[in-house]
Structure 1
Amino acid sequence: MTSSDPATFDRAISSPEDASTLEELGYTQELHRGIGGYAAFASGFSFVSILTTVFAFFPLGFSLGGPAFFWTWPIVFVCQFCVCLVFAELSGKFPVAGAIYQWSRRLAGNAVGWFAGWFMLIGYIVSIAALAIAMQTVLPPIWSGFQIVDGDMDPLSVTGAENGIILGSITIVLCTVISAVGVKFMGRITVTGVTIEIVGVVLIIGAMFFTAERGPVAAVADTGGHGSGLGYAGAFLASMLMAAYVMYGFDSAAELSEETRDPRKTAPKAIVNALLVSFVGGGLMIVAALMSAPDLGDDLATGGMAWIIESQLDTWLGKTLLALVAVAMFSATLAIQASASRVMFSMARDNRLPFGTLLSRVNKRTGTPVITGIAVSTLAILVLLVNIGQSSVFAAIASVSVVIVYIAYLMVTVPALLHRLRGTSLSYGPPVMDLGKWGIPVNIVAVVMGGLLVINIGWPRAEIYDVAGAGWYMQYFAVIFVALTLVVGYVAYRVVRHRDGAPDPVDALVGKRPSP
């Protein structure tokens, strides 16, 4: 039953009010709504997953910029919080699945919207693979039985890489099954995972502060021999990649808008809270690690937080904390898999993908886009296979996936800024969250700093893209990958651009309010 008539509507699917909101935006309610406020927050928070990402990328930031790399954390936050505020405003006005694709399309037209969705899909799929394969860094150290392939557990070794593919594939399959069962069940799993992750963050921060070797000022003031004054600028910019790799994905709460109850109010709060909590918790983790490390040298650069935990804590406690990290990784993989499948579903429903009719099907019993979930997971497992004997290539692809997502973000923030500057402010829908006079300055920061972050992340640094010294083509991998993504995307768009199916994107919904 998809009618929004209160007399006939099936409340097991959605409230008539939420279905009516979706109908205003051009779509019929098919997905079942089972996401509440905390579950929506959990979706965004688990995507950022500070217990996973800060844990994993701390060595990168430290090795590139020394302890003073901490100061990149608040700088990146300023940029991403402005992006977050623009997204939160849009999520209250356009609560539709496939958020980045839908917002961009409605602000800038079908062509820009299609490329935003295309970039998000690629970024999400690679992120699923990268996160799933990271299970190799935590599961075998917890219990040797997780090392299914005999040999070295090191993820960079041949046997470690092969085992990582197996563990990653199992993780992705489990996430696909959970996502297909139903949004309420998926929400419960995500909420449980995030609650455990928050407990883990508090425990790790507390344990490291308790074993502190130095004060906070001494911990964050040292450049680690990477220079001083302007001579430190290059290292500082490179180390900024750590924070940039962590602080994105908060928009995941909006990707599930069609499955969220009262999304106009729920999604904006979830997006903002997900980033704020991640910023505070992640910042405290970095400071605590720098204070607790036995020394601020090479061991910390290679071992990161895992080395601190193993050095400073009892073995049983260290394994417990690693288990919490594994739970956070699984929860994050689930959140990204769900977000990617909603983007694919939203584009397919608009007839903007090959096999759109098949990919846009919603299972009547579970109310979930099962086929898109399977498609996304299959593609992610194929990306995992790159890691066989090519771990440096896989690492480069994972890094580029962040560049891809940041470019997609610009495809929303730039058109939004243009609307504000023209005076056609984003006035559609009830003013659940409205930036008002702050809209233009916040949006300018989001665009300018977002563009600079794209350049910084994609800059051809050998220590990021060509660690093995393979050659210039690896050093310029980000530029090449983005160019190929654009070319392939252009060819694909030429095929689908004249298809019917999508509601009118621009002007009908931007710059005016619906009649009361």
Structure 2
Amino acid sequence: MTRVATGSDDEQLAALGYTSEFRRDMSLWANFSLGFTYLSPVVGIYTLFAVSLAAGGPPMIWSLLVVGLGQLLVALVFGEIVSQYPLAGGLYPWARRLWGRKWAWLTGWVYAIALLVTIASVTYGAGPYLAALLGLEASTSSTIVCALVMIGLATLINVGGTRALALAAIIGFSTEIIGALAVGGWLLLTERHHGLGVLFDSFGAGSEGSYLAAFLAASLIGIFQYYGFEACGDVAEEVPDASRRIPKAMRMTIYVGGAAATFVCLALVLSVPDFGAVISGADTDPVSTVLGTAFGEWGSRVVLGIVLISFLSCALSLQAAASRLVYSYARDGMLPGSRLLARFSRARGVPPSALVLAAVVPALVVLGSGISEDATTKIISFAVLGIYLGFQMVVLAALRARLKGWRPSGPFTLGRWGLPVTVAALVYGVAAMVNMVWPRTPDAPWYDNYLTLLSGVVVVGAGVLVLVLLRPYRNSGAVAGDAIGGENA
């Protein structure tokens, strides 16, 4: 098996078969900030707070701790892999080195579609907030326009290069963490209606059946929250001493992001005046209710500004991750049009064609909502499942490689804990995906009840079809499977 060089970053990349064109302008804090803004506590909590509170009541907050521990296991596995293989693109090159070209191609396919769709969902979700800040009437049209503006802004910043991305990530992190602490602290000081005891009281949520089922449904807020740490590895060739710094940045993303998300969620839960109204459906937007009461019209606008910066930072990080993934694919000759998509701007230090693709595809998804909101919902249903599926394809590849003799040789390793942590990460990930696709609306048509599962089957099925019929991996001569001495190691 291949053991990488432990000297300079250039020597390590040369040992892996690459000469990087990226500039290593991203510090540890900038790399962590990129992961944090992708994870985005504000975006994650504000997006699903109402749904989760209605499903499980205040105890839904405990899902943030459960999911956080599960995703920390995944982050530890990823840390070992990126420490040995600090390559741009993250999941795709990791799967390539651990298993082989075919598995890597399918892993990258799933992850790429999930990333591009997630960019669309995040910017679309930001649309109403931007419209409200600008005083526009909330409508599908205004939401689409605002979402396209967000995609355009993110693209302009990303085209500026690694330094612009790093600076934007740090600004986004600083704004979001200060905003989260300030907003949460103000709510706890001025709008707290309950004590901590409510965190153990369901207030009637799930009373029609098992509370465990209600809690699992509510735990989607945690599942939606805890990803983004992998973005630290997507830009591995832009970070000095990447083998040591990126595993640390990944863990920091989980620790700090998880703590911030839990604090924001706690402040909101204790500030909701009437849990019964949320659970019954009488109050469908408790976040706006709480913020409007606590901050008034002008204060709410300031909070809206902070929320929008969080959404923009999240979209920016997602787009950076997607563009590096596409570039990594194309650099290895694994895509149609690889020559175009692998183009690199030395002046900017970015892959411009890959960035354009990471802007155009999400924009088309957003525009699709003007034709059919239902169609957009079906596409976006795959987003979170796709991220988790991509994660677990890499974890499975790592487990397979371990069982075949791979021992991580980067500066960061788990030692004898590597195998049990990898197994636990896989068990957690599979359980989380089952929870995501579990049918919970028995009165709905079967295709709506299984919408997330069906979207996953369609995306994976399409990927397998392309893999079998077109065999895109045939044009790639880059090293693959070398963790266990396979393929063209």
Residues 354-503 of structure 1 aligned to structure 2 (within 5 Å): 354-388=336-370, 390-422=372-404, 424-429=405-410, 432-462=411-441, 471-494=445-468, 495-503=470-478
Distance in 2 (CA, whole Å) between partners of 1:501 and 1:415 is 20
1:177-201, Cα deviation, whole Å (9 max, x unpaired): 2111211112111211111111111
1:137 aligns with 2:112: no
Q: What runs of 5+ residues in structure 2 fail to find an aligned partner?
A: 1-6
RMSD over equivalenced CA pairs, Å: 2.1
How far apart are 1:428 and its partner, in Å? 3.1
Correspondent of 1:106 among 97, 111, 114: 97
Q: Is the 8 A contact 2:56 2:218 kept in 1?
A: yes
Counterpart of 2:452, as a letter, is: A
Q: Percent identity?
A: 28
How far apart are 1:298 and its partner, in Å? 2.6
How far apart are 1:461 and its partner, in Å? 2.9
Distance in 2 (CA, whole Å) between partners of 1:318 and 1:224 is 28
Kindly indicate whether structure 1 or structure 2 has the higher relative contact order, using CA contacts under 8 Å at least 6 residues apart.
2
How far apart are 1:226 and its partner, in Å? 2.4
Match of 1:165 in 2: 144
Q: What runs of 5+ residues in structure 1 fail to find an aligned partner?
A: 1-15, 154-159
SS in 1 for 2:274: coil
Distance in 2 (CA, whole Å) between partners of 1:74 and 1:298 is 26
Counterpart of 2:451, as a letter, is: F
Q: Is the 8 A contact 2:326 2:354 kept in 1?
A: yes
Distance in 2 (CA, whole Å) between partners of 1:177 and 1:378 is 13
Residues 80-95 of structure 1 aligned to structure 2 (within 5 Å): 80-95=71-86
Correspondent of 2:294 among 312, 317, 333: 312
Match of 2:4 in 1: none
Distance in 2 (CA, whole Å) between partners of 1:224 and 1:111 is 50
Match of 1:125 in 2: 116
Q: Relative to structure 1, is the Cα distance of residues 229 and 171 closer, same or farther in structure 2, using a 3 angstrom cutoff? A: closer
Distance in 1 (CA, whole Å) between partners of 2:195 and 2:80 is 36
Counterpart of 1:336, as a letter, is: L
Return the TM-score normalized by structure 1: 0.88
Residues 46-57 of structure 1 aligned to structure 2 (within 5 Å): 46-57=37-48
Q: Is the 8 A contact 1:352 1:496 kept in 2?
A: no
Q: Is the 8 A contact 1:426 1:511 kept in 2?
A: no
Distance in 1 (CA, whole Å) between partners of 2:335 and 2:437 is 28
Q: Is the 8 A contact 1:350 1:502 kept in 2?
A: yes
Q: Relative to structure 1, is the Cα distance of residues 64 and 230 closer, same or farther in structure 2, using a 3 angstrom cutoff? A: closer
Q: Relative to structure 1, is the Cα distance of residues 365 and 213 closer, same or farther in structure 2, using a 3 angstrom cutoff? A: closer
Q: Greater CA deviation, 66-75 or 292-301? A: 292-301
Correspondent of 1:37 among 7, 25, 28: 28
Q: Is the 8 A contact 1:416 1:426 kept in 2?
A: no
How far apart are 1:231 and its partner, in Å? 1.8
1:333-385, Cα deviation, whole Å (9 max, x unpaired): 00000100111110111111110111011012112101010012101111112
Q: Is the 8 A contact 2:53 2:60 kept in 1?
A: yes
Q: Is the 8 A contact 1:427 1:510 kept in 2?
A: no
Distance in 1 (CA, whole Å) between partners of 2:434 and 2:384 is 12
Correspondent of 2:235 among 256, 263, 269: 256
Counterpart of 1:21, as a letter, is: Q
Distance in 2 (CA, whole Å) between partners of 1:436 and 1:425 is 12
Match of 2:285 in 1: 303
How far apart are 1:230 and its partner, in Å? 7.5
Distance in 2 (CA, whole Å) between partners of 1:343 and 1:410 is 17
Q: Is the 8 A contact 2:116 2:361 kept in 1?
A: yes
Q: Relative to structure 1, is the Cα distance of residues 362 and 98 closer, same or farther in structure 2, using a 3 angstrom cutoff? A: same
Match of 1:505 in 2: 480
Counterpart of 1:48, as a letter, is: L
Q: Greater CA deviation, 219-228 or 28-37? A: 219-228
Distance in 2 (CA, whole Å) between partners of 1:229 and 1:71 is 21
Counterpart of 1:161, as a letter, is: T
Match of 1:12 in 2: none
Correspondent of 1:281 among 233, 238, 260: 260
Correspondent of 1:231 among 194, 210, 217: 210
Counterpart of 1:411, as a letter, is: M
How far apart are 1:391 and its partner, in Å? 2.9
Q: Greater CA deviation, 406-415 or 204-213? A: 204-213
Return the TM-score normalized by structure 2: 0.93
Distance in 1 (CA, whole Å) between partners of 2:25 and 2:70 is 32
How far apart are 1:107 and its partner, in Å? 1.1
How far apart are 1:219 and its partner, in Å? 2.6
1:476-500, Cα deviation, whole Å (9 max, x unpaired): 2222211211221123223144523
Counterpart of 1:55, as a letter, is: Y
Distance in 2 (CA, whole Å) between partners of 1:397 and 1:218 is 39
Match of 1:59 in 2: 50
1:244-298, Cα deviation, whole Å (9 max, x unpaired): 0111121101000011111111211111101111111111111111111222233
SS in 2 for 1:388: helix
1:27-72, Cα deviation, whole Å (9 max, x unpaired): 1121222111111001100001011111111112111111111121
Match of 2:186 in 1: 207
1:79 aligns with 2:61: no
Aligned length: 476
Distance in 2 (CA, whole Å) between partners of 1:133 and 1:227 is 30
Q: Is the 8 A contact 2:323 2:358 kept in 1?
A: yes
Match of 1:4 in 2: none
Q: Relative to structure 1, is the Cα distance of residues 510 and 305 closer, same or farther in structure 2, using a 3 angstrom cutoff? A: farther
Q: Greater CA deviation, 307-316 or 43-52? A: 307-316
1:329 aligns with 2:311: yes
How far apart are 1:236 and its partner, in Å? 1.0
Match of 1:115 in 2: 106
How far apart are 1:213 and its partner, in Å? 3.3
How far apart are 1:212 and its partner, in Å? 4.3
Counterpart of 2:361, as a letter, is: L
- Structure 1 outlier segments of 4+, above 6 Å: none
Counterpart of 1:341, as a letter, is: S
